[in-house]
């Protein structure tokens, strides 16, 4: 082969190879890497590694979200309001879960023959679904008649017609079985100490303690007693030579229940009064029993009297020694009377179940031998008893 023919052959080979090089360099050749990747034994491994999540370093378990203080108070208030409506008094409603609330819950379950459960772990359905939890109340002009100033000395107090509330806030708090602080909490922006007639506020949905009705009942019973006395005088004048006939009971004088239907058991240790219909537990309320010096007398007694809106004979000697003296003051009725708005006298002289002018002392301070309750609870206990109702004090 001569030189010219050799040159032409080399040029022909170069021209034949040029299109392949061009095609490989153009975008149309993009699939080529995929073919190469498929033939690469490490490519599939690299793709598989990328799809597997990297292991993380082990750390502490996440902390469960704890309920806020407000949520805890709301739950406790729900339980307290529910129990109060069931006539198992938890003490004053304040959003706390104290001893009286726990004892009330235990007795509520006993009354329903339910197995013991902790309501704080999970609210029972009957509590969780109870609605409404709160309602509203508008202060009335009649409410204002229960508020006033209280004189300083016992002698000055004895001259008053009534020992009233000192503020509308105190009246509304007692009416709805709660503390003024709790009313402030469920009424943001409202100062309960500065309530006025016409003010509407949120209150616990409990059976209201109606002092106006208690006062009206006292007036009604006084009128009945006056009428009976008049009948007796007429009967005596017309039959002076014979025995005085017993007057026929007047309308409304008959007891609401029989003395045998219910019985009371007072535990001076648990500081509770339990009410039973026969053997069935139907209600319980917190109490303050006597002190070590003047203990509440244990034993079996009966109710001898039930007085709405009572006066109180303040006798220092009687309070300290249990014996009467001639140095006393007769204090008028009212919510700030030392025995509150209800007295249930026992067959033990000087001893009874009664209300108080300071519900904060229930369960916390000793009495002078009697059994003290919050006014709203004393009125509810009175609805179960009549003259002759048995009371066991242990």
Residue 43, pLDDT score = 44
Count the Cβ atoms, other than its own, within 10 Å of residue 353. Answer: 28
Residue 113's pLDDT is what? Answer: 94
pLDDT of residue 216: 92
* CATH number for the segment(s) 255-393: 2.40.440.10
- Residues lower than pLDDT 50 in the chain: 2-3, 7-8, 10-11, 13-55, 244-253
Q: Please check whether residue 341 is in contact with residue 309, taking contact to mean a CB–CB distance below 8 angstroms.
A: yes
Q: What is the pLDDT of residues 244-262, one digit of tens each?
A: 444 444 444 455 567 889 9
Contact 150, 184 (CB under 8 A): no
Q: What is the pLDDT of residues 118-165, one digit of tens each?
A: 999 999 999 999 999 999 999 999 999 999 999 889 999 999 999 999
Reported pTM: 0.77
pLDDT tens readout for residues 30-67: 444 443 443 444 444 444 444 444 445 555 555 555 56
- Tally: H helices and E strands in the chain: 13, 12
Confidence at residue 131, expressed as pLDDT on a 0 to 100 scale: 94
Spans of all domains in the chain: 69-207, 209-254, 255-393
Task: Report residue 364 as tokens.
Answer: 């916390």
Cα dihedral: 311, 312, 314, 317 (round 10): 140
């Amino acid at each position: 082969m001569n030189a010219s023919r050799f040159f032409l052959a080399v040029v022909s080979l170069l021209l034949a190879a040029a299109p392949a090089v061009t095609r490989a360099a153009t975008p149309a050749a993009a699939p080529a890497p995929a073919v190469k990747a498929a033939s690469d034994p490490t490519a599939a491994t690299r793709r598989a590694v990328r799809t597997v999540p990297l292991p993380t370093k082990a750390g502490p378990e996440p902390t469960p979200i704890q309920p806020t203080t407000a949520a805890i108070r709301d739950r406790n208030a729900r339980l307290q309001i529910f129990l109060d409506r069931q006539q198992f008094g938890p003490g004053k409603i304040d959003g706390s879960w104290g001893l009286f609330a726990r004892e009330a819950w235990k007795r509520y379950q006993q009354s329903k023959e339910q197995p013991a459960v902790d309501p704080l772990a999970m609210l029972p359905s009957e509590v969780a679904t109870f609605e409404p939890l709160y309602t509203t109340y508008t202060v009335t002009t009649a409410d204002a008649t229960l508020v006033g100033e209280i004189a300083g000395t016992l002698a000055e107090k004895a001259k008053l017609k009534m020992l009233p509330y000192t503020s509308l806030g105190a009246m509304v708090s007692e009416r709805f079985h709660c503390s003024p602080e709790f009313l402030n909490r469920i009424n943001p922006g409202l100062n309960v100490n500065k309530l006025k007639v016409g003010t509407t506020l949120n209150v616990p949905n409990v059976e209201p303690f109606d002092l106006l009705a208690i006062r009206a009942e006292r007036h009604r019973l006084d009128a009945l007693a006056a009428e009976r006395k008049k009948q007796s005088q007429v009967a005596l004048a017309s039959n002076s030579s014979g025995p005085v006939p017993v007057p026929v009971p007047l309308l409304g004088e008959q007891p609401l229940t029989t003395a045998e239907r219910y019985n009371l058991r007072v535990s001076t240790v648990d500081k509770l009064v339990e009410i039973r219909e026969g053997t069935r537990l139907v209600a319980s309320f917190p109490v303050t029993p006597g002190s070590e010096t003047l203990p509440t007398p244990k034993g079996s007694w009966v109710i001898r009297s039930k007085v709405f809106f009572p006066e109180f004979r303040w006798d220092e000697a009687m309070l300290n020694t249990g014996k009467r003296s001639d140095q006393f003051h007769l204090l008028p009725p009212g919510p700030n009377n030392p025995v509150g708005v209800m007295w249930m006298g026992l067959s033990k002289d000087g001893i009874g179940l009664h209300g108080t002018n300071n519900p904060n002392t229930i369960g916390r301070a000793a009495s002078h031998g009697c059994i003290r309750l919050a006014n709203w609870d004393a009125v509810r206990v009175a609805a179960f008893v009549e003259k002759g109702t048995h009371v066991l004090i242990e």
